[in-house]
A = this chain, B = another copy of it.
Amino acid sequence: MKCENTSVMLSIKPIAYIHSDFSEKFGIPRQSGLVDSLQAKIIFTKEFRNGDCIRGIEEFSHLWLIWEFSKNQRDKWTPTVRPPRLGGNKRKGVFASRAPFRPNPLGLSCVRLEKAVPNSPEGPILYVSGADLLDGTPIYDIKPYLSFADAHPDALGSFSTKALEHRLNVHCEDALLHLIPKEKRQSLLDCLSLDPRPSYQHDPERIYGMQYAGFDIHFSVNANDLFVTEVIPSHEKQ
């Protein structure tokens, strides 16, 4: 045992990057799988553009991604964090939470595999759904989901189990919704229903802005109702 040896670092390198509809953190579902319809694709880095890497992967319905909280780097870790689901005012140990600010900035997400294309001009591509990853997030490993080892539906989940209960009613006029490509609409509505606001903000006058699929989505929330107020193509900003 070498418990005292803390100087050994491990260097890992991205094997792929994800392309998703999220260009900023605000509004991303707080865990994978919460919005099933979210589509994303995984494109490998040059070194790993070899269709053999994913041979047989289509026999699995779900995959694990180990990725980097690449936009959440801080110089120092703290032993405790404030999970948003606890209203942002209760502290939990960093290892008792999935918070992005942790000693090693590793994220873990389970996604559904929709399609595997071994040999495209860009090398192998994995089409996945349910990902909670920012566009351009580096991925360090992809592993098949093994239900016999990974599925524990009865696991005790502390405060986290409330994540699924709290859903908002989303109101969006057709004129606004139709500005967004058809295949992106349901995912957006589902993401909004999860209530992207910090749990401690409850000002019905406040207008929030969320980036999604190349659009700025503006909305306000009053109690359990969310109202989309504007949909602006992102490039029209300024």
Interface residues of A (CB under 8 A from B): 1-15, 17, 19, 31-34, 43, 45-48, 50, 52-57, 59-62, 64, 66, 68, 79-80, 91-98, 102-106, 108, 110, 135-136, 138, 140-161, 163-164
Contacts and interface: CB of A to CB of B under 8 A. Distances in A.
How many identical subunits does the complex contain? 2
A43 B5 CA distance: 12
Contact of A94 (B53, B149, B152): B53
A94 to B, nearest CB: 6
Nearest to A8: B14
B34 A98 contact: no
Contact of A53 (B43, B93, B141, B146): B93
A104 B155 contact: no
Given A31-B146, A60-B155, 8 more contacts: A2-B17, A8-B138, A10-B13, A15-B104, A33-B152, A48-B103, A53-B95, A150-B151
A133 to B, nearest CB: 12
A141 B108 CA distance: 10
B54 A95 contact: yes
